[in-house]
Amino acid sequence: MQDEQPTFKVTDRRLFNADGTPRDLPPEESPETAAAAPTSAPEPAKATISSAEHEVEAPPQPSEESDDDEELDGAQDPASFVNFLMSIASNAASALGMMEHPVTHQREVDLQLGKHWIDVLGMLQKKTQGNLTKQEQQLVEGLLSDLRMQYVSLANAPQKARTFSGKDITGGK
C-alpha cells in the first residue's frame, strides 16, 4: 500500500504572468478546451453517485432574496390589487403633504383626509389578512408604516400661529 502513491498533475491556469503580461497558454489549457474537457471526461459509475449530488440536481427553491427582486404580480395591470393599494397610498401621501398636488403643484396638509386614507389602508390590511402574497403583505405593511409615521410627525408638530399682514387686511392692494 505504501508503494502505491497517487500522482497529481498541477496545472497553472492563470492567464497572466507574475509581471502582469499575458501568458501563452498551451492548447490543452485554453479556456475553450477546458470548457469542453468536462463533457468528454468519462462519467463515474451510477452506483457511486451520492445523495449530495442528487440535491444539486434538484430545481432551486425560491429564496427570500429573489422574492424581493422580482416584480409584483399584476403590477402592470391598472386594475390590480397592488395598483389599488398604491392609489390609496398616493391619496394619503398627497393629503399629508408628501406629494405635490397634481393640479396646483403645491404641497398641502389635510390631516383628517390623510387619516381617512390611512384608516382605509388599515382596514384593507385587516380584511385581507392571510390572503396576500408575501410581497403584497410587505407592500401593505411598508406603506402603512411610512404613512403612519408621517401622520404622527405632522399631528405632533407644533401648530404655527397664523400671522396677518397689511396685505391680508387690504386684500393684497
Residue-level pLDDT at 171:
67
**Measuring CA to CA, how many Å separate 144 from each of 101, 123, 138, 151?**
20, 11, 10, 10
Q: Are 144 and 93 in contact (CB under 8 A)?
A: no
Residue-level pLDDT at 107:
87
Q: Which three cell numbers stand for residue 114?
A: 390623510
Q: Which three cell numbers stand for residue 134?
A: 408575501
The span from the CA of 58 to the CA of 52, in Å, is 10
Q: Is residue 114 exposed (0-12), middle (13-18) or buried (19+ Cβ within 10 Å)? A: buried
The span from the CA of 95 to the CA of 109, in Å, is 5
The span from the CA of 61 to the CA of 105, in Å, is 47
Residue-level pLDDT at 141:
95
Residue-level pLDDT at 140:
95
The span from the CA of 39 to the CA of 17, in Å, is 29
The span from the CA of 122 to the CA of 147, in Å, is 11
Quote the radius of gyration of the chain (alpha carbons, Å): 33
State the residue for C-alpha cell 395591470: 77
Reading the chain (173 residues) residue by residue, the pLDDT tens digits are: 567 888 877 777 777 777 777 777 777 766 555 455 555 444 444 444 444 444 444 444 444 444 444 567 777 888 889 999 999 999 999 999 998 877 888 888 999 999 999 999 999 999 999 999 999 999 999 999 999 999 999 999 887 766 666 666 666 65
- Coil, strand or helix: which one is 76? coil
Query: In this structure, what DSSP letter does residue 48 have?
Result: G
Residue-level pLDDT at 22:
76
